[in-house]
Amino acid sequence: MTGLHAGLRALILVAGLLPLLAQAYSGAGGECGNSALEAAALRGTPLELEQALDKGVQNIEKVVDQWSGDIARLYPDTSRVWLNREVRRSGREAKRQTFARWWSGCRGIRLLDAAVAGQNLANVRYLLALGVDPNAPDAQGTTLLMRCPHLEPGNPQIFTHSAPRSRSPDALDKALAIHALLLDHGASIAQRNQHGLTALHLCNDPAVVELFIRRSPDASHVINHQTEPDWKAPRLLDYRARQIIDGSPWDQEAHFAILEKILPRLAEPRLTPETPRSIEPSCRAPARQAACSVWNGCSRRRCRLLAENRDHNRTEGLDARKLPHATRCRARGARTRRFWCR
């Protein structure tokens, strides 16, 4: 019975602690993705965000003071921060900084993500001045520049890794100004997640990717980086080519646009043999036939990349001439047409 009682006690503790921790995370209460703290970062002033941070510090300190032993056992990551003596003895400004760095909301959204998504330049500047690291990774190693957070008109949800559906010229200018500010504060497009992917692999906003290429000193290295033999992460060109078929159909136009921005910087504009090999079975799948149909623009010519790799492909057991019609290229502007098609 002792084990059963211990298990029941643990369940009761978790059930009791979760709402309290949720309130602490939210700053001043609120539902997942709609907390006062996230709303302050999205739409508030720096003063309102500062007040929400102070409230969040008060809430989390109250919880850990009341449940310190149980939090240390059940939530070690939280206890390592908020049971730390140096943190607890620090001043108000230092605690705000600790809370802003520690906090993450639904789907891994952080406060700097929310400020960027809301195009709240004042709050982006405030958080950077507070010491929030724009390169801070989540559990998968994903950073802010990889997520490219943004809002869509009429939808309060923060979107990541997708191309904006609609954006006014003013909103575009704000997005570029904010991402330029992040780069100026050390945000890196060369940092890789646990799969070896960078911001140039994962950000699907063509205008922002163009800014990364134009402004970052690491752009040429990332674009022309050759994958190590024991690393499964693909080269940028191969990854972007495969995303046209294997990525979200809503983002196909963005993938083509990003390819056009990458092509002039490539020292070796040829796909590895594994890429056409992976495209072929993808296009056989019924669920991918609609996506593959976008490659039909050059209906009488084979993809230049496949033709250039023809001899090597044959030695690898793949004949480019036998690839399905759906894997041929699509004419998207002069540069893309020259690249994809003979």
Give pLDDT tens digits for 205-231. Answer: 999 999 999 999 999 999 988 765 555
Query: Measured between alpha carbons, how far is 270 from 135 in angstroms, rounded to an integer?
Result: 31
**Secondary structure of residue 150 in the 3-state scheme:** strand
**pLDDT(175) > 50:** yes
Of the chain, the percentage scoring pLDDT greater than 90 comes to: 35
Task: Tell me if 286 sits within 8 A of 244, measured CB to CB.
Answer: no
Q: Sorting pLDDT into bands at 50, 70 and 90, what band is 64?
A: confident
Asked whether residue 39 is assigned to any structural domain, the reply reads yes
Asked whether residue 46 is assigned to any structural domain, the reply reads yes
Task: Count structural domains, the chain.
Answer: 1
Q: Sorting pLDDT into bands at 50, 70 and 90, what band is 289?
A: low
Asked whether residue 199 is assigned to any structural domain, the reply reads no
Query: Measured between alpha carbons, how far is 208 from 186 in angstroms, rounded to an integer?
Result: 16
Asked whether residue 144 is assigned to any structural domain, the reply reads no
Asked whether residue 284 is assigned to any structural domain, the reply reads no
Asked whether residue 285 is assigned to any structural domain, the reply reads no
Q: Minimum mean pLDDT among 97-101, 181-185, 244-248: which range?
A: 244-248
Asked whether residue 313 is assigned to any structural domain, the reply reads no
Rounded to an integer, the average pLDDT of 146-153 is: 92
Please give the torsion angle defined by the CA atoms of residues 260, 266, 271 and 272, in that order, rounded to the nearest 10 degrees: -150
Asked whether residue 328 is assigned to any structural domain, the reply reads no
Q: Sorting pLDDT into bands at 50, 70 and 90, what band is 172?
A: very high
Residue 98 lies in domain:
1-106
Amino acid identity of 241?
Answer: A
Q: In whole angstroms, how far apart are CA 39 and each of 103, 115, 172? A: 14, 9, 21
Rounded to an integer, the average pLDDT of 134-160 is: 91
